Each structure stands twice: as C-alpha cells, then as structure tokens.
C-alpha cells in the first residue's frame, strides 16, 4: 500500500493496532505485539501514545516482544533498544512492565543459545505474535536477520553486516562504536506472526523495497521471504515505492 505521506500511513497502522488491542480486550484476551525499533515505526508509536492519552486506549492486555537488541548492550545505554522503546512508547503507556520482553544484550556469550530458546518459548507461551511491526534495513534485513539468514531461523545471535553498522553509525558517533553483533528474533519467528506490517519510508529504501516485492525469494535479501507470508502488508510512502 502506497501513501503520499508516512504520517498518514503511520496513523492508519496505529489504528489497526489499536483496534486489535480493543478487540482482544473485549474478548478477554491478551494481545501479543511484535515491535520494531529504528526511525520507521516512531510515528506509529507517537500515534499510539496519543490514543492512550486522548482516547483512553489501554495497553493493560498487551504483551510485547521486541525483535532485537545489540550485543553486547547495556539496557541503560542511550544506544540500547531498551532505551529506544522506553522513550518512544513504554514510558508513556500503561503496559505492565512484566509484559515487556526485549532481547537481553548483557547475557554471557555461552548462555545465548539457551536464552534465545527461552525467548522463543516465551512467545509460544502467549500463543504467538498477533501483530508484528517491521522496518527494513538496506541489506534487506528484518529485525537483524542479515543476508544469509535461513527462512526458518529462530531467535539467535548474529553478526551485523557492514552496511547495517554504517547506517547505525551516526547514532553511535562513528562506526567503531557500533556493536558487531546483535540478538534477533529469526525469520521463522517473524513468519509465525498472524499478521505482519512492514514500514518503509524514503528514497534510501526504494531499492530494497523493489527487491523485496518484485525480486526472487533469496536468503541474500531476507525480507523477500515475506512474499510467502499470507497476511503481510508493506506500507510505503511514494519515495520508498518510487522504483516499483
Ligand atoms: C535496524 C533495526 C531494524 C530496522 C532497521 C531500519 O537495523 N534492527 O529492525 O528495521 O534498523 O531502520 P530505520 O527504520 O531507521 O530505517
């Protein structure tokens, strides 16, 4: 779906999420959200915060799982995705703290596999992700599933692509400060979500958007796997859709 402006598109995506939360709440059910970081979802989070403040949208029945976190990364660091989520969403809504799950960038290297298994189990214990929000990296990554990621990969540690680290470098004041690794939900984890919405804005994303939608399904561009997901929408602005 192509919109003229990313703000108009973000509002509609936020409304879809809000409607799902309310609908689940009316049924007495938990709403499991898969959440993303990066600049793309910020407006969606702004709109959700606004709906909480102005329309009383409650997040008490929401459980959230974030896609990824840098490794190593202290959750207190301003560079952490923990910090990002608190700043843009969690500090401003009534989601219970114990319902928030974000991969832990402080665990010992040798404990990562067991930790990642636990993250998968946790998602399953809530019945899986109802709605997964995604951005896309210029390498074609979703979460931090860099080129080469298998379609049924699960939560694991991954080495970040050079381009991904370059794109993150301005926020870290230089590429040398960008962590080399991350913990990310796998493509398979994302794929098991009942509904997926991927956001992409701006000319910088036009090339990878074209490959994702029109290209062959290839592990070199993990986002292409989404072509086979039965309930995925890519929400674009005109710049991001300019090469289609
Ligand atoms: C990071 C995140 C991704 C995100 C991507 C794009 O790599 N791990 O989840 O989709 O950045 O970021 P942006 O939305 O700022 O373009």
Give me the residue spans of the domains in the chain. 2-237
pLDDT on residue 239: 98
- The per-residue pLDDT for 70 is 98
Instruction: Report which protein residue has its CA nearest ligand 1's atom 10.
Output: 135
Query: Can you tell me the distance from the alpha carbon of 170 to that of 240, in angstroms, rounded to the nearest whole number?
Result: 21
Query: Which residue has the CA at smallest separation from atom 12 of ligand 1?
Result: 38
Neighbours of 104 (CB within 10 A): 18
200 C-beta closer than 6 A to ligand 1: no
At 142, which helix (H) or strand (E)? none
Q: Is the CB of 38 under 6 A from ligand 1?
A: yes
Is the minimum distance from the CB of 140 to ligand 1 under 6 angstroms? no
CA distance 229 to 244: 20
Which of these is catalytic: 47, 69, 146, 239?
146
Distance separating alpha carbons of residues 64 and 131, to the nearest angstrom = 10
Residue stretches of the chain with pLDDT short of 70: none
- The reported pLDDT for the residue numbered 69 is 98
| CATH architecture label of 2-237 | 3-Layer(aba) Sandwich (3.40)
Q: What is the mean pLDDT of the chain?
A: 98
Confidence at residue 123, expressed as pLDDT on a 0 to 100 scale: 98
Q: Is 146 an annotated catalytic residue?
A: yes
Pure H helices in the chain: 6-26, 42-55, 81-88, 112-125, 162-168, 187-191, 206-214
CB 69, CB 80: distance < 8 Å:
yes
Which pLDDT belongs to residue 227?
A: 98
144 CB less than 6 Å from ligand 1?
yes
**Distance in Å, CA 118 to ligand 1 centroid:** 24
> Cβ(80) to ligand 1 under 6 A?
no
CA of 22 to the centre of ligand 1 (A): 28
CA-nearest residue for atom 9, ligand 1, is 143
* List of residues 6+ apart from 158 with CB closer than 8 A: 144, 145, 146, 149, 181, 182, 183, 184
Sheet strands side by side (includes 181-184): 68-71, 181-184, 156-159
């Amino acid at each position: 779906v192509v919109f003229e402006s990313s703000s108009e598109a973000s509002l509609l995506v936020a409304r879809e999420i809000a409607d799902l939360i309310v609908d689940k709440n009316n049924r007495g059910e938990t709403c499991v959200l898969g959440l993303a970081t990066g600049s793309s979802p910020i407006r969606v989070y702004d709109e959700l915060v606004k709906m909480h403040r102005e329309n009383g949208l409650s997040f008490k029945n929401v459980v959230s799982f974030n896609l990824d976190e840098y490794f190593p990364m202290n959750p207190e660091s301003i560079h952490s995705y923990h910090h990002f989520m608190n700043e843009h969403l969690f500090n401003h809504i009534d989601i219970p703290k114990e319902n928030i799950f974000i991969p832990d960038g402080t665990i010992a290297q040798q404990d990562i596999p067991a930790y990642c298994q636990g993250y998968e189990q946790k998602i399953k214990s809530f019945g899986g992700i109802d709605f997964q929000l995604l951005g896309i990296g210029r390498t074609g990554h979703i979460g931090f599933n860099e080129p080469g990621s298998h379609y049924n990969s699960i939560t694991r540690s991954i080495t970040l692509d050079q381009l991904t680290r370059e794109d993150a470098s301005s926020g870290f004041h230089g590429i040398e400060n960008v962590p080399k690794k991350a913990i990310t939900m796998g493509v398979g984890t994302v794929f098991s979500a009942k509904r997926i919405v991927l956001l992409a804005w701006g000319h910088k994303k036009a090339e990878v958007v074209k490959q994702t939608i029109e290209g062959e399904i290839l592990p070199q561009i993990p986002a292409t796997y989404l072509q086979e997901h039965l309930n995925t929408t890519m929400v674009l602005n005109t710049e991001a859709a300019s090469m289609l």
